[in-house]
Amino acid sequence: MPKFLYLVSYYVSSNFSDGGLLNVVAENDEECYDLVVDWDENTWPEHYGKLRENIMKAPRYELAEEIESGVMEAFVV
């Protein structure tokens, strides 16, 4: 199954001061969501809906080679 590089906006709320950009390798939106939630144990459950929306809208690029799924880079402030 092909994998994709997702560029996920990590701003989940206009009231949420922390945010940034996550580079995530995943097979689909659901795996991407699970990886981000597992990566940041401090993600508040009330932001899960916005996070899922950001993942669905995120630019994604199909990878030419097999890479293990995961959060590859995180630029958060």
CA gap 5, 28 in Å, rounded: 10
Split into its structural domains, the chain has a count of 1
State the pLDDT at residue 47. 77
Contact 22, 74 (CB under 8 A): yes
State the pLDDT at residue 10. 80
State the pLDDT at residue 13. 53
CA gap 67, 54 in Å, rounded: 23
Listed as ranges, residues in the chain with pLDDT below 70 are 11-18, 42-44, 77
The percent of residues in the chain predicted with pLDDT above 90, rounded, is 48
- Give residue 44's domain range: 4-76
